[in-house]
Structure 1
Amino acid sequence: MNARQIEIFRTIMRKGSLTAAANALAVSQPAISKSLRHFESHLGYMLFDRIGGRLVPTAEAEMLFADADRIFREIELLDELALNIRERRVGLLRIGVSLSMIPTILPTALVAFKANHPTVKIQVHTQPKAETSEQLQIGGIDMGLTVSTIQAPTIRNEILAATPVVAVLQADDPLAALPVLTVEELKDRPLISYGSQVEIGAMLDDAFEQIGVTRPQAIQVSSSLVAAPLVQAGLGIALIDGFMPWDKYPGLVTRPFKPQLMMNLAISTNSEKPASRLLSAFRLNLRDAIRQYQTDHGTDAQL
């Protein structure tokens, strides 16, 4: 087995045919076919079934592809690092961030950071927490900024702030007249919130189960940024984190939710990777940005 064979196999899996893989790798289709036959011969089993002129991956191919894809993603990261070194870039800070941080905390922190580090290159990757965790572990990013901690063996979490889950609803909703919304008021209303597979979603499930009902989840979202237009459209009441500037959305109001459930804004890094000298400075900028956000919006978020 060699790197070229793995690359060809990976490309066939991604592109779905020998012709498409050959075009992607700028080689002839016979060369791709020959390499695949040699690879299968070396492994001792077939990677694809030939059905109706199409290649259909076998179960063994699906198992092999996961590691093959990871290996080449790491090679791509190495290529990027080599390019950064060749171009003598002064520094690079790569951040994986939850969507809800884009209109709130992150811009303020980056403005302050760039004022003191004008030559540092910054990459911002908006992605789900699971992908942030993966990228941290393979070295694709230097830090994650998420609205809940990442649970993985090599990941170190630092909680920057905590905020309670709030109810976001239309201003003309009858429930908006209440100072606080509880599970009793919401048990028969369609809810927009996180899935049960994440920590806060499971906590919300438990809160409703305490009164003997199942959480009336109408729409599952992975980010509070997605919830706002859905509430505006009348699709339900959102139970979501309080980091968002909800006052910026016309026609929406927020109310405290009881029982109080807290969500944590956290920085995540890989304890097995060398710490970037830039991270300490950026942590301070993030803390300052949170304080400013609290002052400007009067949130309940706590450091």
Structure 2
Amino acid sequence: MNIRQLEVFRAIMRDGTITAAANSLGISQPAVSKLLAYLEDQLGYPLFERIGGRLAPTTEAHILYGDADHVFRQLEALSSLARDVGASKIGLIRIGASLPLAYSVLPVTLAAFGNHHPEVKIHLHTLPKREIAEALSLGDVDVGVTLSPILAPTMRVEKLFSAKVVAVLPATDPLAAEATLTPSMLAGRRLISYGSHAEFGAALDEAFASEGQRRDVSIQIASSVGALPLVRQGLGIALVDELALWSPIEGIVSRPFRPTVPTPVSLTINQARPQSRFVASFSDCLRQAFAGASQSSIGATAEDSTAASRKT
């Protein structure tokens, strides 16, 4: 039994006559009769009997028809899916992202991307940079978005945004009145920040050492996302990437930290792996999201926004 014979059998069952089946399939009546005869010969039993000049399905034909119809409906669905994939209507993009980016710029980015490609499935993996680099190398993700570049021979890196470390503190803290904060100004305060062995920890240690200070971290965190509830609870001042306050949070403000400690946002693809057709569109949406953020103030709080509107 082959697909063509099964197709003829299904058409006769559905249309009732060989003539109608031939018309629906776009082939001749003799071709339909011949294919049906071959099928019955292979099966070893008849599928139709002629009663009063008409074809009547046998019991065996009724038994086979349900599964035959199901098979062809699946084939038709597969053909439709293949056409949609070819027209870029349906697909998949797999994104590896650092946690702060997943909580800040990516929701805006993915909303814009979804408007352009509503049928495309998105797999978002929030991972440390080391694991994102590994996933890119293995081809488990199509694109990586991290707070620093992934450096490897086959990786193509694009710097998207010049983020920096900021001080995040309660709006009621006296230091919130300062335009910028320095290591000397933070002396004696409880700090919430990355460990010295973390990617930006060493740079922060050097910034403190440049003013003769020692960075004494009271609460060590792995991601800036985890710092915000701690600051809100009054447990200290956080020195974290500015993406932590991408959206305003009532009662919390951020202030520039000097000396500057950069945390550049990078987009990375592995040129040694086949690329999803949707990486370019996703990248465009990500660039637009950062362009919009550059025109506003990342981390502006309700208090800051109100003050700014009064000045204007």
TM-score by length of 2: 0.63
Q: Residues of 2 paired with 1:145 and 1:198: CA distance?
A: 18
Following superposition, the deviation at residue 247 of structure 1 comes to: 5.7
2:164 is the counterpart of 1:129: no
Following superposition, the deviation at residue 118 of structure 1 comes to: 2.2
- 1:149-168 paired onto structure 2 within 5 Å: 149-168=149-168
Q: Residues of 1 paired with 2:240 and 2:172: CA distance?
A: 19
**Relative to structure 1, is the Cα distance of residues 103 and 296 closer, same or farther in structure 2, using a 3 angstrom cutoff?**
farther
- 1:132-211 paired onto structure 2 within 5 Å: 132-211=132-211
SS of the aligned residue for 2:163 comes to strand
Partner AA of 1:161 in structure 2 = F
Q: Residues of 1 paired with 2:144 and 2:244: CA distance?
A: 18
Q: Residues of 2 paired with 1:132 and 1:298: CA distance?
A: 25
Following superposition, the deviation at residue 190 of structure 1 comes to: 1.9
Q: Residues of 2 paired with 1:136 and 1:247: CA distance?
A: 29
2:94 is the counterpart of 1:94: yes
- Is the 2:104–2:246 Cα contact (8 Å) retained in structure 1? no
1:245 match: 245
Partner AA of 1:242 in structure 2 = E
Following superposition, the deviation at residue 245 of structure 1 comes to: 3.0
- Is the 2:105–2:289 Cα contact (8 Å) retained in structure 1? yes
Partner AA of 1:99 in structure 2 = L
How many matched pairs?
216
Following superposition, the deviation at residue 204 of structure 1 comes to: 0.5
Q: Residues of 1 paired with 2:261 and 2:248: CA distance?
A: 23
SS of the aligned residue for 2:250 comes to coil
Following superposition, the deviation at residue 248 of structure 1 comes to: 2.6
Q: Residues of 2 paired with 1:275 and 1:196: CA distance?
A: 36
Following superposition, the deviation at residue 250 of structure 1 comes to: 2.3
Following superposition, the deviation at residue 298 of structure 1 comes to: 5.2
Following superposition, the deviation at residue 296 of structure 1 comes to: 4.5
Alpha-carbon RMSD: 2.4
2:292 match: 292
Following superposition, the deviation at residue 162 of structure 1 comes to: 0.6
Q: Residues of 1 paired with 2:168 and 2:107: CA distance?
A: 24
- Is the 1:228–1:249 Cα contact (8 Å) retained in structure 2? no
Q: Which runs of 5+ in 2 are unaligned?
A: 1-77, 301-312
Q: Residues of 2 paired with 1:246 and 1:269: CA distance?
A: 25
- 1:18-167 paired onto structure 2 within 5 Å: 90-167=90-167
- Is the 1:164–1:242 Cα contact (8 Å) retained in structure 2? yes
Q: Residues of 2 paired with 1:247 and 1:283: CA distance?
A: 21
1:272 match: 272
- Is the 2:231–2:238 Cα contact (8 Å) retained in structure 1? yes
Q: Residues of 2 paired with 1:221 and 1:239: CA distance?
A: 10
2:248 is the counterpart of 1:235: no
**Relative to structure 1, is the Cα distance of residues 145 and 298 closer, same or farther in structure 2, using a 3 angstrom cutoff?**
closer
Partner AA of 1:176 in structure 2 = A
SS of the aligned residue for 1:181 comes to coil
Q: Which runs of 5+ in 1 are unaligned?
A: 1-83
Q: Residues of 1 paired with 2:105 and 2:298: CA distance?
A: 14
* Larger mean Cα displacement after TM superposition, 173-182 or 224-233: 173-182
**Relative to structure 1, is the Cα distance of residues 195 and 270 closer, same or farther in structure 2, using a 3 angstrom cutoff?**
farther
CA deviation profile, 1:87-121 (whole Å, cap 9, x unmatched): 85632100011222233211221122122222221
- Is the 2:159–2:264 Cα contact (8 Å) retained in structure 1? yes
Q: Residues of 1 paired with 2:199 and 2:124: CA distance?
A: 25
- 4+ aligned runs moved over 4 Å, structure 1: none
Following superposition, the deviation at residue 160 of structure 1 comes to: 0.5
Partner AA of 1:123 in structure 2 = H
2:60 match: none
SS of the aligned residue for 1:268 comes to strand
1:259 match: 259
* Larger mean Cα displacement after TM superposition, 246-255 or 202-211: 246-255
